[in-house]
Amino acid sequence: MLALIAALLIGVASANDAAPTRFQFAAAAERPLDCAVDPCDHVLPNASRFDNVDGKPYRVGLDDTGEVVGWVAISTDVTDRAGYSGKPLVTLVGIDPEGLFTGAEVMHHSEPILLVGIPEQALVDFVDQYAGRSVNDPITVGGHGVYSVDAISGATVTVLAENATILETGRRVGADVGVVEREDRVPGHFVEDHPWSWREIVRRGAVGHLVVTREDMGFPDAGPPHADIWFGIADVPQIGIALLGTHEYRYAVSQLEPGEHLFVVVNSGTGSFRGSGFVRGGIFDRIRVEQGLRTILFRDMDHTRIGSPPVEDAPHFREAALFVTRDDDLDPGRPYQLVLLASHYDGRGGFSRDFETFASTHRVPRSVYVLDGPDPDSMVWKQAWANGWPKALAVGLYLLVVAGLFAARRWTTGRMPRLQRIHTTALITSFLFLGLLLHVQPSVTQVLTAAQGVKGQWDWGLFLSDPVLFISWIFIAGVTVIWGRGVFCGWVCPYGAMTELLFKLGRRLKLPEFELGDRAHKVSRTLRYGVFGVLLAAFLVEPAFGETLAEVEPFKSTFFVPVWTRHWALIAWWLVLVGASLVWYRPFCRYVCPLGAALAVGSSVRISGPHRRDFCTKCKICTRGCEPRAIRPNGTIDPRECLSCMECEANWRDDQVCPPLVRQRRDREQGVERRLRKTA
């Protein structure tokens, strides 16, 4: 089994290296747009050359006569929209002078959902739908309207994020070149409160935080951070009075014009955000604020030097400054970035220095600024629920039925024939309804993405962006804690259901049955934890490599794409598992599945396992019938191995099978017979 897995991963990795793909321009994720290298002519085919535009992140396309035929931009130069992985889908977008998309091409992505939901060609086909559409059209994913684009089954989050990426890129470039009206801001208002303590300001997320360590700067020795900066909008008294003092705050507010905002920056690091020249040419060159395509540079007239915040519990800061953002440039209702250009002496000359750029994103919390309309940054997940609620409702109702069977397990396990009919019906329903019809197959890639989100910055919007996955994982988390992983793995998982149905088919066909010996089984069942550990480490270090390794899960080949279209190694792996499942009870689930391994860890502390008696330490009736081999020699049940078939609990209730109950039943029957004889 281990050799097969290794051969599979080597085959897939070599296939990925050899196969040509339109996602080959990965370097674009780390460098500016360069039309000499990047396929600008693919997305703006009428252009014969591409020229730079001073200070702009896009390029202008010209035809043979020198006439402008459009503009091209890389999405990451224009928007910070993230995909399911938490990283952007780097997309090259072209628009023409009429404000129409001339093309789009995904150049790089880190989407683990592709391994579960779609082949890469499907994403290529998806972005091809935008050519000829207006950047002003309210394009939505799914539905049947004139402004809709076809969704991709199994990749809801990815295509919603890609839709937003293409639209934001086209609209922002179009607005900057004057062919599209600038995006209207959602109106909002500040919420005033009494002055907060420093601790309260930080707890509520009212200020952003940027830390640059000495290691980040390349210094060999440890020590205090080079920059430890807190920053934020200070228009309201709960923040402004705390950071500036009452008199300074009231005066600063009185000087504001409409569309202007107070912006405070404080630093306790050893470096300075002012820079060695303090204000060079009237402009602060070491810090700036960026929001979308807008870059806010602070001038000396925008700056007031202030002391450390007067609020009692605030730490001491080496430098503090109050700035004013002008010309309605800063929208307090949207995320923005503070960008620091840090430098240090490089040793190559008297005034030679190395420069590094660091940034931190902040958004004013709703306790400080409330939008008076819909939040544009929440529209992706809201759109997903608007389009996907019927499917989510159907899945949710089915999962509630399964959970109800376990909640009412006294009835469910009351008779073995009833339990077996219910379980088989659930397996068939999960395979046909969830798997083949709705393509609902949770994967370890979602666990890995969640782990990466915890490591980095968790985004609830991404978690909510696929309604079915959201409901499925809420169900999985709940039942795993209460009854163990077996509720999902043994009843709901479409692939697990398929393999168990194949095993039942093998019994009907009277095929030989294979099972490992005790020693080999004990060793082999730990393999899945190793597989999960390798995937987790690979994903955290390099998500793309982790995605490749996650193809050890045969879910995509089973439910999302025709298996005969896959690489030969994946086809062989799928066939081996299908063939083995006919004669071997759930081989993948018990020994390889990384998702099962992750859930098994959570099952260790399940609240309600199958009922047991002291006599179970002596009896082997349930042990002989336990196909997952989850019953230990002492009669207890290993929750990490149990697939919750509940047959042992049905035996526990059956006075025709369980020895203590058999004895009690016979005693009762004998007592009745004695009473009848006495009466006669």
Give the pLDDT score at 214.
Answer: 84
Q: How confident is the model at residue 511 (pLDDT cuts 50, 70, 90)?
A: very high
320 exposure class (CB count in 10 Å sphere: 0-12, 13-18, 19+): buried
> In the predicted model, what is the mean pLDDT of residues 336-350?
66
pLDDT averaged over every residue in the chain = 82
Q: What is the pLDDT, as a whole number, of residue 680?
A: 64
State the pLDDT at residue 422. 94
Strand partners for 361: 337
At residue 52, the 3 state secondary structure works out as strand
pLDDT(185) > 50: yes
**How do residues 2-61 score in pLDDT, each as one tens digit?**
555 655 555 555 544 443 344 434 334 446 788 888 889 888 998 899 988 887 889 999
Q: Give the pLDDT score at 668.
A: 85
* pLDDT given at position 557: 86
- Most confidently predicted of 78-87, 108-117, 555-564: 555-564
Q: Identify which has the larger pLDDT, 637 or 347.
A: 637
Most confident of 50-64, 497-511, 553-567: 497-511
Q: Using DSSP bridges, classify how beta strands 319-325 and 303-305 pair: parallel, antiparallel or unpaired.
A: antiparallel
* Statement: residue 529 has pLDDT above 80: yes
Structure token digits, residue 165: 């990426």
Q: Whose structure tokens read 């060999």?
A: 220
Q: Provide mean pLDDT across the span 179-191.
A: 77
Torsion of CA 645, 650, 651, 652, to 10 degrees: 110
Q: What per-residue confidence (pLDDT) applies to 302?
A: 85
User: What is the end-to-end Cα distance of the chain in Å, rounded?
Assistant: 68
Residue with the bigger pLDDT between 626 and 119: it is 626
Reported confidence tier of residue 87, pLDDT bands at 50, 70, 90: confident
Inform me whether the pLDDT recorded for 590 exceeds 70.
yes
Question: For the stretch 162-185, what's the b/e string if a residue is b when 16 or more beta carbons lie within 10 angstroms of its beta carbon?
Answer: bbbbbbbbbbbbbbbbebbeebee
Mean pLDDT of the 174-189 span: 78
Over residues 563-578, mean pLDDT: 89
pLDDT of residue 19: 39
pLDDT, one tens digit per residue, over 396-412 is 999 999 999 999 989 99
pLDDT value for 560: 81
pLDDT tens-digit profile of 306-319?
Answer: 888 888 888 889 89
Q: Does residue 250 carry a pLDDT above 80?
A: yes
For 364-400, how does the pLDDT look when each residue is reduced to its tens digit (9 = 90+)?
Answer: 998 899 988 777 666 667 767 877 788 899 999 999 9
pLDDT of residue 113: 53
Please state the domain extents for the chain.
2-177, 188-373, 378-613
Least confident of 156-160, 426-430, 569-573: 156-160
| Residue 580 structure tokens | 């083995």
Q: Is the pLDDT of residue 607 over 70?
A: yes
Q: How confident is the model at residue 676 (pLDDT cuts 50, 70, 90)?
A: confident
Tell me how far the alpha carbon of residue 584 is from its chain's centroid: 34
Q: What pLDDT is attached to residue 380?
A: 66
- Mean local confidence (pLDDT), 83-93: 78
What is the DSSP code string of 550-570?
A: GGGS-HHHHHTS-GGGS-HHH
Contact 75, 88 (CB under 8 A): yes
What's the pLDDT score for residue 405?
Answer: 94
Query: Widest CA span of the chain, in angstroms?
Result: 120
Task: Provide the pLDDT for residue 307.
Answer: 87
Task: Name the band, by pLDDT with cuts 50, 70 and 90, for residue 86.
Answer: low
How many CB atoms are located within 10 Å of the residue 95 CB? 30
Residues facing residue 463 across a β-bridge: none
Do the bridges between strand 58-62 and strand 49-52 make them parallel or antiparallel, or are there none, so unpaired? antiparallel
Question: Which residue in 557, 579, 576 sits closest to 566, CA to CA?
Answer: 557
Ranked by mean pLDDT, the top range of 433-447, 574-588, 636-650 is 574-588
Q: How confident is the model at residue 659 (pLDDT cuts 50, 70, 90)?
A: confident
The encoded tokens of residue 573 equal: 């792996």
Report, as an integer, the average pLDDT of 481-495.
Answer: 93
pLDDT of residue 281: 43
* Region of poorest pLDDT, from 84-88, 428-432, 442-446: 84-88
User: Residue 536 in contact with residue 451, Cβ under 8 Å?
Assistant: yes
Q: How confident is the model at residue 93 (pLDDT cuts 50, 70, 90)?
A: very high
| CA neighbor of 157 nearest in space, from 202, 126, 186, 181 | 126
pLDDT of residue 580: 94
Instruction: State the pLDDT at residue 16.
Output: 47
Residue 1: what pLDDT?
59
Question: pLDDT at position 115, please?
Answer: 47
181 DSSP assignment: P
Q: What is the pLDDT of residues 211-239, one digit of tens each?
A: 988 888 777 777 888 889 999 999 999 99
Residue 31 makes CB contacts below 8 A (sequence gap 6+) with none
Phi, psi of 618 (to 5 degrees): -105, -25
Sequence-ordered list of residues with C-beta below 8 angstroms from that of 164, at least 6 positions apart, any chain: 81, 379, 380
C-beta separation of 115 from 558 below 8 A? no
**Mode of pairing for the β-strands spanning 148-149 and 140-141:** parallel
Mean of pLDDT values over 152-164: 65
**Stronger pLDDT, 299 or 113, i.e. the higher one:** 299
How many other C-beta atoms lie within 10 A of the C-beta of residue 546?
24
With 80 as the cut, is the pLDDT of residue 647 above it? yes
Report pLDDT digits (tens) over 347-362.
444 444 455 778 888 9
Q: Is the pLDDT of residue 116 over 80?
A: no
With a cut of 90, say whether residue 280 has pLDDT above it. Answer: no
- Cα atoms found within 13 Å of the Cα of residue 481, Cβ hemisphere only: 5
Q: By C-alpha distance, which of 95, 75, 97 is closest to 87?
A: 75
Cα(93)–Cα(99) distance, rounded to whole angstroms? 12
Q: Summarize the confidence of residues 95-112 as an average pLDDT.
A: 84
Q: Which helix (H) or strand (E) holds 28?
A: none
